């Protein structure tokens, strides 16, 4: 299908990533790419130009904030759903400051994720 929306899931947890990938493919017309760390995320972003980035806070080595900072400094506009198991006020505030479209605290349901993806795809903010 030529009009499938591309989603990049950036999370180092393989089991979690497979579960989300399968769920997204079942729920919608999505093409899902996966990255395991900040460097791979940047590489996949440039190669596939996804519509939505699902970005975990705790990535190996550099972390989710580093990826967001790189995107911001590079002038890249992408709807980013920031996922975190540490939804402190400080983390949430920093995610939005760096350009997150939404922050989704873990654990979350696949329905909540699908709703945020829909919102991100139909939002005016990157």
CATH number at residue 107: 3.40.50.2300
How many Cα atoms sit within 13 Å of 68 on the Cβ side?
27
Q: How many structural domains is the chain composed of? A: 1
Residue 38 lies in a domain: yes
Residue 57 lies in a domain: yes
Backbone phi, psi, residue 50, to 5°: -70, 160
Inter-residue contact 114 to 27 (CB < 8 Å)? yes
Residue 107 lies in a domain: yes
Mean pLDDT per 10-residue run, the chain (126 residues)? 84 94 86 95 94 94 92 90 95 95 95 94 75
Residue 126 lies in a domain: no
Host domain of residue 96? 5-121
pLDDT at 25: 86
**How far apart, in whole angstroms, are the C-alpha atoms of residue 67 and residue 86?**
17
């Amino acid at each position: 299908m030529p009009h499938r929306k591309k989603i990049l899931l950036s999370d180092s947890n393989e089991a979690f990533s497979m579960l989300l990938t399968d769920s997204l493919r079942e729920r919608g017309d999505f093409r899902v790419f996966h990255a395991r760390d900040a460097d791979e995320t940047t590489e996949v972003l440039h190669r596939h130009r996804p519509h939505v980035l699902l970005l975990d806070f705790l990535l190996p080595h550099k972390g989710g904030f580093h990826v967001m900072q790189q995107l911001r400094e590079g002038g890249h506009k992408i709807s980013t759903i920031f996922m975190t198991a540490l939804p402190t006020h400080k983390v949430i505030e920093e995610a939005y400051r760096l350009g997150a479209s939404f922050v989704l605290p873990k654990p979350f349901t696949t329905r909540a994720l699908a709703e945020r993806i829909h919102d991100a795809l139909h939002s005016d903010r990157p």
